Structure 1
Amino acid sequence: MTTHRIALIPGDGIGNEVIPAARRVLETVGAQHGITLTYDSFDWSCERYVKEGAMMPSDGLDTLRAYDAILLGAVGYPGVADHVSLWGLLIPIRRGFQQYVNLRPIRVFEGVPSPLRSAKAGEVDFAIVRENVEGEYSEIGGRLNRGLPEEMAVQEAVFTRKGVDRVVDYAFDLARRRRGVLTSATKSNGIVHTMPFWDERVAERAARHPEVRWDQEHIDALAAKFVLAPERFDVVVASNLFGDILSDLAAALAGGIGIAPAANLNPEREFPSMFEPVHGSAPDIAGLGVANPLGAIWSAAMMLDHLGHGEAAGRITAAIAAVLATTSVRTPDLGGTATTDEFTDALTALL
């Protein structure tokens, strides 16, 4: 019997509905594979911010450090600015724990039609590796002359050799274990300093991975090719901003952002990694019991895989594929009428 300590942060809105669903699936597959997960839940959220003035306590990172992994639901709610919720919780965790890889698998499942006629199940299956702690989302910059005609805002992008090399190496290694193809997102024809630097680092690291065929695409052309020919991609590596945009676009192409998972990884395992669905808090449907739990469940499978339980993780993703391919059970975002619990019931029954 293997035991892991998991920190749960349900967060806001439907996060409080999809995390219990993911936990049910984890407990089902854990019992079958001799995996025991113990949980502690934290009320770190926008609601806490409204009451106490902070998304999480000042010693939040110290508290989380003792856990093997973090499973997060969603963050964000009306009345609390997005930059407050993001910089008050997710970004401090990502950066404090050096979760420099944001990994987002993209897959068209049988039974979930893509908005693209050409995107078919079994053909579209790739991964986006997003640099997660530096790049365009730096803290360097500021505002000057507020309220005056001369008002200005400056935001500095920060790319370091270490930061680029480590995420690119991760992406090349992932491509080696998949189909052996990597695409680097760039915009070096318009961004004159950081993107040529990114390209140089990718080219140098590529020489260390001769078994992987690689190319680079300007971000505007790459976005178009995601739409025109998503089946051509295997692993896409991108900076923080580019990876953020591409991963949401790709999730939509795969049938909906409600099914998309994400992993914020510290590959060296010096700190806990964090796993979260991409869909956000969806305040318009919060409390109705109809949230799609698939993204959270798939994120939980990624957590199991990271913890060394690849077989158990594979059974969850296989069950996801089976419930979509062989049943009509769908939550409203996928065109059905099932509740969160009904979808989870169908999935656990297959497990």
Structure 2
Amino acid sequence: MKYFNVALIPGDGIGPEVVSEGVKVLKAIEKIDPEISFSFQEFPWGCEYYLKHGKMMEDDGIDQLKGFDAIYLGAVGYPGVPDHISLRELLLQIRKGFDQYVNLRPITLLNPSLTPLKSKTEKDIDFLVIRENSEGEYSGAGDWLYKDKPEEVVLQTGVFSRKGTERIIRYAYAEARRTNRTLTSVSKGNALNYSMVFWDEVFEEVGKEYPDVKTYSYLVDAASLYFVQDPERFEVVVTSNLFGDILTDIGAGITGGLGLATGANVNPEKEYPSMFEPVHGSAPDIAGKGIANPIAAIWSVSQMMDFFGEDGWDEAILSTIKTLLTETNQLTPDLGGKASTKELGDRFVELLQEYMGT
């Protein structure tokens, strides 16, 4: 028997609604496969918690989460709490506290009807973005000088350490070799003459260890164009924290929208728990209406199962999502259907059971 202990942080807005459907999928897996067992503990942290207590999570929150195998996050952010607080004091604190230095965001077209790009197919849009997740432009380093004075100056410092840059690039090379795919580095070395020149040099240095991996390098502005104009040129992409954040939203746009965007925050060495989340945000305008699209949250369950080494379940969930997307009447309104969040989740479980022959 394999036991997995999962921490639930439903968070804000539609987070609790979509996490509930993801947990429903995990419980279905448990019923189908007698060799897998899950336990769950929910934590009420997020913006509502902040408004009551003046902090996004408990002071010893990192210590409370340490013993879990994975963290399942719904969404962070809500009106009344500045975004830089909600992001820094919960999401980034967990990422940094558990050294989740790899962010994995698949850019995969699951149904040709979902892309706004003319005549692009599933074969054209199928790549993985590996984003540095612990430092870079989101390191939080800088200063605010002479505040509210005419000579006011703000300094935002990107931090690119040898260790941090080298390990994310090496991870990307290893993934490209493992999957026999090309690797593209995205930077901005023509303008950022310290951080990105360093990134480019490390990419070349590490590449000497992987002579079998075919590589490309693009400036981020050119890469943004190619994501839309020519996505088939990408297979594995590695980039910095900020560029990865922006590029993967473009990726979501060409594959059906943020309701289908998922992300894994991974500590590859498994010294600490990794965190899995849909990346659509809290969507407060539709929170509580029961119409939120839970597919991204379910896809993040697929990533979680892959992290647990359960490759069969990873593939089963993704295949089932593809089947579900052909049933328009079973989809939520953002995808042209009339189903509720719960109804979509229920139908997904039915299809998953059929896929597994139960």
Alignment TM-score, normalising by the size of structure 1: 0.98
8 A contact 1:138–1:155 mirrored in 2: no
Q: Deviations over 1:153-172 (max 9, x none)?
A: 00111101110111111111
Distance in 2 (alpha carbons) for counterparts of 1:35 and 1:329 = 28
Q: Quick check: 1:228 aligned with 2:229?
A: yes
How far the C-alpha of 1:326 sits from its partner, in A, is 4.9
Residues 1:4 and 2:4 are matched in the alignment: yes
- In the alignment, what sits opposite 1:243? 244
Q: Work out the CA distance in 2 between the residues paired with 1:179 and 1:247.
A: 22
How many residues are aligned here?
351
2:301 is equivalent to residue 300 of structure 1: yes
One-letter code of the match for 1:303?
M
Matched, 1:65 2:63: no
- Give the structure 2 partner of residue 24 of structure 1: 24
Q: 1:134-173 CA deviation, whole Å, 9 max, x = no partner?
A: 0011222111111111111001111011101111111111
Q: Measured at CA, do residues 92 and 202 of structure 1 come closer, stay the same or move farther in structure 2, by a change above 3 Å?
A: same
Q: Which moved more, 1:117-126 or 1:231-240?
A: 117-126
- Name the SS of the counterpart of 2:155 in structure 1: strand
**1:177 Cα shift?**
2.5
Other structure's SS at 2:263 match: strand
| Letter aligned with residue 244 of structure 1 | D
Aligned mates of 2:114, 2:174 — CA distance in 1? 31
Confirm or deny: 8 A CA contact 2:130 2:172 kept in the other structure: yes
* Distance in 1 separating the partners of 2:211 and 2:181: 10
Q: Deviations over 1:67-95 (max 9, x none)?
A: 00000000000000000101110111000
How far apart, CA to CA, are the structure 2 residues paired with 1:218 and 1:328?
Answer: 42
CA distance in 1, matches of 2:298, 2:110: 15
**CA contact 2:74–2:297 (8 Å) conserved in 1:** yes
Is 1:193 aligned to residue 194 of structure 2?
A: yes
Query: Which blocks of at least 5 consecutive residues in structure 2 are unaligned?
Result: 353-358
Question: How many angstroms apart in 1 are the aligned matches of 2:21 and 2:87?
Answer: 24
Aligned to 2:176: 175
The structure 1 segments of at least 4 consecutive aligned residues displaced by more than 4 Å after TM superposition are none
One-letter amino acid of the counterpart of residue 267, structure 2: N
SS at match of 2:10: strand
CA distance in structure 2 between the aligned counterparts of 1:140 and 1:110, rounded to whole angstroms: 41
Q: Please say if residues 261 and 295 of structure 1, whose CA atoms lie closer than 8 Å, have aligned partners that are also in contact.
A: yes
- Cα deviation digits, residues 214-252 of structure 1 (max 9, x gap): 010000000000010112210110000000100111111
Secondary structure of the structure 2 residue equivalent to 1:136: strand
Letter of the aligned partner of 1:218 in structure 2?
Answer: L
Moved more, 228-237 or 117-126: 117-126
The alpha carbon displacement at 1:116 in A equals 0.9
How far the C-alpha of 1:325 sits from its partner, in A, is 2.9
Q: 1:254 to 1:179 in 2, by over 3 A?
A: farther
Contact 2:181 2:235 in 1 (8 A): yes
- Residue 31 of structure 2 aligns to a residue whose secondary structure is helix
Q: Does the aligned pair in 2 maintain the 1:109–1:122 contact within 8 Å?
A: no
Residue equivalent to 2:213: 212
* CA-based RMSD: 1.1
Deviation at 1:111, TM superposition (A): 5.4
> Any idea what SS the aligned residue of 1:80 has?
coil
Counterpart residue identity of residue 319, structure 1: T
Tell me if structure 2 keeps the 8 A contact 1:258–1:292.
yes
Aligned sequence identity (%) = 50
> SS of 2:326's equivalent?
helix
Counterpart of 2:256?
A: 255
2:52 paired with 1:51: yes
Indicate the residue corresponding to 1:276 in structure 2: 277
**Displacement after TM superposition at 1:317 (Å):** 0.8
Q: Helix, strand or coil: the match of 1:79?
A: coil
Q: Distance in 2 between matches of 1:119 and 1:281?
A: 30
User: C-alpha distance in 2, partners of 1:105/1:182?
Assistant: 14
Q: 2:329 touches 2:338 (CA, 8 Å); kept in 1?
A: no
Q: Partner letter of residue 42 of structure 1?
A: F
